Amino acid sequence: MQESFKAFRVHAGKEFERAGLESLTLNDLSPGGVVIKVEYSSVNYKDALAGTGQGKILRKSPLNGGIDLAGVVVSSESDQFKAGQSVLVNGSGLSEVHDGGYSQYARVPADWIVPMPIGLNAKTSMIIGTAGFTAALAIQRLQDNHQTPDQGPILVTGATGGVGSFAVQLLAQLGYEVIAMTRKQQQHDYLYSLGASTVVNSDVMKVDDASMHKGLWGGAIDNLGGDTLAWLTKSVKPWGNIVSIGMASGVNVNTSAMPFILRGISLLGVTSAACPQTLRKQVWQKLGNELLPGKLDQVCNAEVSLEQLPEAFSNLLDGKICGRQLVWLQIK
């Protein structure tokens, strides 16, 4: 491999210092037994927060950004992987405690790596990326807790984002009626094209001191947190499930015990970063097989280079992005 390569590196100790393109060598990377030539990564909300200093994501500094990556093994100290093998990594501490995917080469522990699922390649796996993986993980949680289509529609909040877009698409593929909630009036057609049966505006939400509201949804996948999550707990039908996967609207949830006691609802959490590796591999295999999203091109909003990441971060945080932004690492 080449002696030096490009990476988008974030410097953030107690305070954010800077982020940008740097030239590195393998000796600059976090330790690990497998070296990967990275072909693609993606832009996620955590990446944008870390890369702009708007959120404290890094737990050590400096680190290469990017919470996911896909590419080809260059060398391996583990007999689990061999040179030339196509692999992916997401979560597991990337861009939090370990150098991430915004680098032309990465070095990671072997037990973080997922062999590329049949049905996917480096590009399609990163269009799905952590966002699609998180959506699939949320649906797995719903199903594990006995959520079925006949319980009623599933409401997806923040539906035009990466996770929301995949949640709408995958739920529809599985036969659920999907209601997509968004404040972006201009994106209704996009959500219908992914499989939403109804699109509602954010003003359907009620923020008040009531212990419960009328049961409207069979279940929900929530990207927003805060008042939105509190409202969902009060408006899901009996025995419905809510999966909480985001906190764009806040971290505090002011609700009542009444829906849990009188309706038997469940509030489920998902963490893609700390997902057990056995489950991680199972969900990725499903994403390459029975859960393979059928509309990847519609979800991929743009392809950007390392040099274009600051603009990509800004567009995402300003709410200008619908769907996913793919990051390409090697010269095309």
Give the model confidence (pLDDT) of 138-176 as tens digits. 999 999 999 999 999 999 999 999 999 999 999 999 999
Task: Please list the residue range(s) of the chain that carry CATH number 3.90.180.10.
Answer: 5-116+297-328
Q: With 90 as the cut, is the pLDDT of residue 27 above it?
A: yes
Task: Write down the pLDDT at residue 2.
Answer: 59
Task: Tell me which of 124-128, 199-203, 216-220 is least confident.
Answer: 199-203
Task: Write down the pLDDT at residue 33.
Answer: 97
274, two tokens: 């700390």
The CATH class of the 130-269 domain is: alpha beta
Task: Write down the pLDDT at residue 181.
Answer: 96
Q: With 60 as the cut, is the pLDDT of residue 1 above it?
A: no
Task: Write down the pLDDT at residue 91.
Answer: 93
Pick the CATH number of 5-116+297-328 from 3.90.180.10, 3.40.50.720, 3.30.2080.10, 3.20.20.370: 3.90.180.10
CA-CA distances (angstroms) from residue 49 to 248, 299, 312? 11, 21, 11
Task: Write down the pLDDT at residue 319.
Answer: 87
Section 177-189 average pLDDT: 94
CA 332, CA 328: separation in Å to the nearest integer? Answer: 8
Is the Cβ–Cβ distance between 169 and 192 less than 8 Å?
Answer: no
Q: With 90 as the cut, is the pLDDT of residue 207 above it?
A: no
Task: Write down the pLDDT at residue 38.
Answer: 98
CA 219, CA 147: separation in Å to the nearest integer? Answer: 8
Q: What is the DSSP letter of 229?
A: H
CA 219, CA 98: separation in Å to the nearest integer? Answer: 35
Task: Please list the residue range(s) of the chain that carry CATH number 3.40.50.720.
Answer: 130-269
Q: Give the rounded percent of residues in the chain with a pLDDT score beyond 70.
A: 99
Per-residue confidence band for 265, with pLDDT thresholds at 50, 70 and 90: very high
- pLDDT per residue as tens digits for the range 208-257: 889 999 999 999 999 999 999 999 999 999 999 999 998 888 889 999 99
Pick from 87, 160, 96: nearest CA to 126: 87
320, two tokens: 């200008």
CA 257, CA 263: separation in Å to the nearest integer? Answer: 10
The alpha carbon dihedral of 312, 316, 318, 322 has a sign of positive
Is the Cβ–Cβ distance between 205 and 227 less than 8 Å?
Answer: yes
Average pLDDT, the chain: 95
